[in-house]
Structure 1
Amino acid sequence: MAKNPSPSVTTKKHLARIEKERQQTRYLVAGVTAIFVLVFALIAYGILDQKVFQYQRVVAQVGNEKITVREFQTETRFARFLLVRQYEQITSNPFLAQFYGQQIQQIETQLADPTNIGKRVLDQMIEDLLVAQEAKARGITVSDEEVEKGLQEAFGFYANGTPTPAPTSTPFVTATLNPTQEAWLPPTPTDTPTPTAEPATSTPTLTPTAVTPTPGGPTPTPEASPTPLPTPTEFTLEGYKTELGTFLSTIKALGYDEAHLRKYIYYSLLRKKVYDAITADVPTEGEKIWARHILVDTEEEAKQVIDRLNKGEDFAKLASEVSKDTGSKDRGGDLGWFTKGVMVSEFENAAFALNIGQISQPVKSQFGYHIIQLLGKQVLPLTDNELNNAKQSRWNEWLTQAKASDQVKTFDIWQTVVPTDPAVTPYAGQ
Structure 2
Amino acid sequence: MRIYKVGGAVRDRLLGIPVTDIDWVVVGATTEEMLAKGFRPVGADFPVFLHPKSGEEYALARTERKSGRGYGGFTFHASPEVTLEEDLIRRDLTINAMAEDDQQNLTDPYHGQRDLEARLLRHVSPAFAEDPLRVLRVARFAARYAALGFTVAPETLELMRQLSESGELEALTPERSWKEISRALMEDQPQMFIEVLRACGALKVLMPEVDALFGVPQPPAHHPEIDTGAHTLSVLQQAALHKQPLSVRWACLLHDLGKGLTPEEEWPRHIAHEFKGLKLIKAVNERFKAPRDCQELAMLVGEYHTHGHRALELKPSTLLELLQSFDVYRRPQRFEEFIAACEMDARGREGLEQRSYPQADYLRGAATAARTVAVQPLLEKGFKGPELGEAIKRERLKALKAYKDNA
Instruction: Report the TM-score when normalising by structure 1.
Output: 0.20
**Structure number, greater radius of gyration:** 1
Higher normalized contact order (CA 8 Å, seq sep 6+, divided by chain length): 1
Q: Which has the higher helix share?
A: 2
The normalised TM-score by structure 2 is 0.21
